[in-house]
Structure 1
Amino acid sequence: MKSLLLATFRQALVEAHPYRLTLRALPKARPHLILAVGKGASWMLKAALDRYGEVPYHLTLPKGQDALGLRAVFAGHPLPDGESLRAAQEVLELLKGLSPKARVLALVSGGGSALWCLPLGISLEAKRALTEALLKSGACIREINAVRKHLSQVKGGRLLKATQARLHVLLLSDVPGDDPGVIASGPFHPDSSTYLEALAVLDRYGLAFPEARRVLEEGLRGRFPETLKPQDPALKRLSYRIVGRNLDLLKAAQGFLRRQGYRAVILSDRFGGEARALARFHAELVETLRAHGLPFKKPLFLLSGGEAQVQVRGKGRGGRNLEFLLALYAHLQAPLYALAADSDGLDGPSEAAGALLTPEVWNLGLDPRPFLEANDSYGFFEQAGTLLKTGPTGTNLNDFRLLFVD
């Protein structure tokens, strides 16, 4: 069963590969410029170059990712760095120099928020510190991006406003609900959030950051322009298509399992909230299935996706998928086979994509409580010997959870 869990995850990644998804969605017209950013950018760009031949391009990737022999700027992720600033500045200058007749193809995937970073009114160091605090606060991605957009010269549709060119954007979605304005903080898409909402996020999670607050308050008073809004005439120059999403990953896994003769049910592609609460929900569903055979017939696989959050209080290591799996272990009454992983191959600030639960983990008798208190889910699964390490996968289609109920 362990090998089947692993094979399912790997097959889902193959079937929902960004090269394949992008190639079938490319427009017929050859662009004058291609911009590519994010964890899936190298494969998306390769598909475009294979289709169109030599086209001027700008590629921005996270450090350590495979550029497939292409020229790239390698920038910081999840925290922006000097290369993030350089990449954003270069892209901004490229777009400003284009005529109204120019056609730009933008290939955007998750991770772009950190990779293109050009702060508005604050220093890069302040933006890094605030980003780190937001990521540890338990805020959801929409809340985090509402703040980042209003402290940026390129996010929240500002890149579209900066050019006269026509843009066609292809996106790999790593956000629940697949809102293009949230993916990579929507550099080309309208934003419904405001300076006031960004300030409310800081208040909600008790984040002081006076330098950021000053900019947001001055933006509220009109000193800084708002992000691109849905009624802006610049949107007439924008077309877009979401070429890959979390549901594609889950459906690929479901199809693979059905071909192996198993029943497989997709619960949702947009589960959010705190990882521990999400784990408790899954555990209660498993126990109901075990006890009553409801709401589905067993044996079966349960699939779910989306993006959970973790409120970091301890000093351990791990990410939202590892935390989910550890909390699932803590809530279950009996052993279970399960896998949880980030489709990009890196779960939070760790080198693991996720981990597996197997009956052997229960046999070890490890107490999950001290690991949960320390936010050290990585340490738990390292001791259990079931960490899943894939390295960067070259895609980013959000979280992948797979549970087998027998």
Structure 2
Amino acid sequence: MDVRRLLENTYHHALVAVHPGALLQPHLTASRPDLILAIGKAAIPLARAAMGAYPGVPALVMPPVQVLLPGAEVIAGSHPVPGASSVRAAQAALERMAALNGDQEALVLVSGGGSALLCAPSGVTLEQKGTLTRDLQRAGADIRELNTVRRHLSRVKGGRLAAATTARVRALLLSDVVGDDPAVIASGPTVPDPTTFADALAVLDYYELSAPEARAHFQAGARGDVPETPKALPNVSNTVIGSNRLLLEAARTYLEGRGLRAVILGDTFEGDVRELARFHASVVRSVAGHGSPVTAPVVLISGGEATVQVHGNGMGGRNTEFALWLLHELGDVGVHALSAGSDGIDGSSPGAGAFLTPDSRARSHAAGLDVRDFLNRNDSGTFFDRLSDLLVTGASGHNLNDLRLIGIGN
């Protein structure tokens, strides 16, 4: 059996099984909206499905790449750091929402990536907000901490998009975050914000970031000089229609359909990438050596999202970094594995993620590649590129977080 090909096929078939359009279809009710807004990495397939169900309804679509979508206005934002186009998209969305009246309804389709693709800075310039976002990411801040800060530097996040209209707002969300909290997905443009300016200040303090302009804005908000984000939005409903769990279950179904045993370890894994790799390596060793908690052969499946503290200037992302740390932690234990993002883009690498094979360590030694050196430089993407072990797919139009597959033989 070509196990590497099997893992790649599993990834692709899982994405097909949870296509955004298919997840949206059951939620397209007979109630015809007056406006369709689609935001995020899955904005295009979500918009296509909604426009097919409601022909003639005005649509504003804000994806990461510019595409031709007949019948819709498309404004591609910038990702992962917002740019001028992200500001144009946010302004257009605010204007479209404000133009509706209390008897009308907006259908808002939200997917991950919307935090950068929809940007209306408040209290800071676009450049200052981008710099702070990068500094937080390099420091290892998780998505909740990032969004706490971004919501309080925005005129559109943390429920402010929905607050811009008196119309009814029906928001349908694809989750790319652990726990599927609607307030965290794309920084919750339609969701009441449970965090405060004081919470945003605490994030800056924890990571010892000065960010003087943002800090001054947060302090003004904590004093009550700047209005807080909305804490209630009675005209809004928010429904999560897709999650990482569905992606993992689709992968398991595909593998079991081919006569293989597959076990989902969980969809809530998060935290430091090395610790996450260390945990997975310990499970692999236990299964391979003791048949516990499951016996081999088996494919272990997990999801969630690791965080990476960036110390070097190499190429990679959280999935290639996880794969390289897993190789390091496994030592002489060889496995087939794939760690990949469902969006098809892993950080600064050209791939969605990376493969391991039982001979990865031997091949890296033969190529003169030192695992620890590449880890120290955060250059995991280059490591796997030199081994021809990157999974390169391009942007998938999905965003349901990460998928990890680890095959353990007899």
Please indicate the TM-score interval, normalised by the length of the shorter structure.
over 0.9
1:316 aligned residue: 314
- After TM superposition, the structure 1 stretch with the greater mean CA deviation from structure 2, 315-324 or 359-368, is 359-368
SS at match of 2:22: helix
1:223: Cα distance to partner? 1.2
Q: What is the identity, as a one-letter code, of the residue corresponding to 1:400?
A: L
Equivalent of residue 259 in structure 1, options 257, 260, 285: 257
Q: What is the identity, as a one-letter code, of the residue corresponding to 2:402?
A: D
1:66: Cα distance to partner? 4.8
1:213 aligned residue: 215
Following the alignment from structure 1 to structure 2, what is the Cα–Cα distance between the partners of residues 263 and 272? 25
2:224 corresponds to 1:222: yes
Task: Give the conservation status (yes or no) of the 8 Å contact 2:342–2:399.
Answer: yes
Instruction: Note the alpha carbon deviations across 1:104-157, whole angstroms, 9 max, x for none.
Output: 000000000011100111111101111111121111100110000011111001
2:267 aligned residue: 269
2:8 aligned residue: 6
2:145 aligned residue: 143
2:386 corresponds to 1:387: no
1:99 aligned residue: 101
Instruction: Note the alpha carbon deviations across 1:12-47, whole angstroms, 9 max, x for none.
Output: 000011011111221221100000110001000100
1:396 aligned residue: 399
**1:216-365 correspondence to structure 2 within 5 Å:** 216-229=218-231, 232=232, 235-332=233-330, 333-364=332-363, 365=365
1:359: Cα distance to partner? 2.1
Number of equivalences: 401
Task: Give the conservation status (yes or no) of the 8 Å contact 2:336–2:358.
Answer: yes
Identity of aligned residues (%): 50
1:374 aligned residue: 377
Q: What is the identity, as a one-letter code, of the residue corresponding to 1:15?
A: A
1:92: Cα distance to partner? 0.7
Following the alignment from structure 2 to structure 1, what is the Cα–Cα distance between the partners of residues 308 and 317? 7
Q: What is the identity, as a one-letter code, of the residue corresponding to 1:316?
A: G
1:360: Cα distance to partner? 3.3
- After TM superposition, the structure 1 stretch with the greater mean CA deviation from structure 2, 363-372 or 311-320, is 363-372
Instruction: Note the alpha carbon deviations across 1:335-388, whole angstroms, 9 max, x for none.
Output: 110000010000012221001001232221232100000000001101111100
Following the alignment from structure 1 to structure 2, what is the Cα–Cα distance between the partners of residues 100 and 9? 44
Instruction: Note the alpha carbon deviations across 1:231-289, whole angstroms, 9 max, x for none.
Output: x2xx2211122111101100000000001011111111110001111001000110111
2:38 aligned residue: 36
1:23 aligned residue: 25
Structure 1 residues 67 and 181, CA gap change in structure 2 (3 angstroms): farther
1:226: Cα distance to partner? 0.8
SS at match of 2:76: strand
1:161: Cα distance to partner? 1.6
Task: Give the conservation status (yes or no) of the 8 Å contact 2:36–2:58.
Answer: yes
Task: Give the conservation status (yes or no) of the 8 Å contact 1:84–1:117.
Answer: yes
Following the alignment from structure 2 to structure 1, what is the Cα–Cα distance between the partners of residues 159 and 56? 28
Task: Give the conservation status (yes or no) of the 8 Å contact 2:244–2:303.
Answer: yes
Cα RMSD of the aligned pairs, angstroms, is: 1.1
Task: Give the conservation status (yes or no) of the 8 Å contact 1:371–1:377.
Answer: yes
Q: What is the identity, as a one-letter code, of the residue corresponding to 1:171?
A: L
1:189 aligned residue: 191
Following the alignment from structure 2 to structure 1, what is the Cα–Cα distance between the partners of residues 28 and 238? 11
Equivalent of residue 111 in structure 2, options 109, 112, 127: 109
Following the alignment from structure 1 to structure 2, what is the Cα–Cα distance between the partners of residues 115 and 154? 11
After TM superposition, which residue ranges in structure 1, 4 or more long, deviate above 3 angstroms?
65-71
Task: Give the conservation status (yes or no) of the 8 Å contact 1:39–1:111.
Answer: yes
Following the alignment from structure 1 to structure 2, what is the Cα–Cα distance between the partners of residues 242 and 6? 27
2:157 aligned residue: 155
Task: Give the conservation status (yes or no) of the 8 Å contact 2:67–2:74.
Answer: no
Task: Give the conservation status (yes or no) of the 8 Å contact 1:61–1:67.
Answer: no
Equivalent of residue 50 in structure 2, options 37, 43, 48: 48
SS at match of 2:292: coil
Following the alignment from structure 2 to structure 1, what is the Cα–Cα distance between the partners of residues 68 and 14? 22
Q: What is the identity, as a one-letter code, of the residue corresponding to 1:285?
A: V
1:68: Cα distance to partner? 5.0
Following the alignment from structure 1 to structure 2, what is the Cα–Cα distance between the partners of residues 276 and 169? 36
Following the alignment from structure 1 to structure 2, what is the Cα–Cα distance between the partners of residues 360 and 289? 19
- After TM superposition, the structure 1 stretch with the greater mean CA deviation from structure 2, 354-363 or 218-227, is 354-363
Structure 1 residues 150 and 384, CA gap change in structure 2 (3 angstroms): same
SS at match of 2:359: helix
Structure 1 residues 178 and 384, CA gap change in structure 2 (3 angstroms): same
SS at match of 2:176: coil
Task: Give the conservation status (yes or no) of the 8 Å contact 1:336–1:404.
Answer: yes
**TM-score of the pair, normalised by structure 1:** 0.97
Following the alignment from structure 2 to structure 1, what is the Cα–Cα distance between the partners of residues 29 and 172? 10
1:405: Cα distance to partner? 1.2
Q: What is the identity, as a one-letter code, of the residue corresponding to 1:392?
A: A
Following the alignment from structure 1 to structure 2, what is the Cα–Cα distance between the partners of residues 85 and 34? 19
Q: What is the identity, as a one-letter code, of the residue corresponding to 1:279?
A: A
Following the alignment from structure 1 to structure 2, what is the Cα–Cα distance between the partners of residues 25 and 166? 16
Instruction: Note the alpha carbon deviations across 1:143-199, whole angstroms, 9 max, x for none.
Output: 110000011111001112221000001111000000001000000101111111111
User: Which blocks of at least 5 consecutive residues in structure 2 are unaligned?
Assistant: none
Following the alignment from structure 1 to structure 2, what is the Cα–Cα distance between the partners of residues 349 and 270? 24
Following the alignment from structure 2 to structure 1, what is the Cα–Cα distance between the partners of residues 283 and 134? 34
User: Which blocks of at least 5 consecutive residues in structure 1 are unaligned?
Assistant: none
Following the alignment from structure 1 to structure 2, what is the Cα–Cα distance between the partners of residues 98 and 340? 44
